[in-house]
Structure 1
């Protein structure tokens, strides 16, 4: 005969321990900011589209990088 198992508890939907983590805040860039990108290197912000994308001049080329900018860092 097998021993009785305790019933599994279901977490409450309002439990703060099961809440999904808050997304990190999106970095805000301005024109003329110096930036570094993991793939393209050092650059200068040329244009900003609010909460959508930034246009960065990396010297030989310009790239439009969309939000949330995972590989773009302000210097």
Structure 2
């Protein structure tokens, strides 16, 4: 595949007339017992942290493993 797809990060050239792409926001870090809210599951508490890769959250009705980038979940 020649120039196939947009996999990876493209380098911004200083001579480019276009603005550089915005930096990615930092990955949210969660700790045990953090209260969180999720768009689908609602209010929950972090019960297991797997580094920066995933967390397990107890949402009362079920325990759910949520992987990074945690786009639908926010820390309270």
TM-score when normalising by structure 1: 0.77
Task: Say if 2:51 is the partner of 1:50.
Answer: yes
Cα distance in 2 for residues equivalent to 1:63 and 1:53? 10
Aligned residues: 64
Task: Say if 2:35 is the partner of 1:34.
Answer: yes
TM-score when normalising by structure 2: 0.76
Counterpart in the other structure of 2:20: 19
What is the root-mean-square deviation in Å for CA atoms of aligned residues?
1.7
**Structure 1 ranges of 4+ moved more than 6 A:** none
Unaligned runs of 5+ in 2: 1-11
Offset at residue 18 of structure 1 (A): 2.9
Greater Cα offset, 34-43 or 15-24? 15-24
Q: 1:59 to 1:15 in 2, by over 3 A?
A: farther
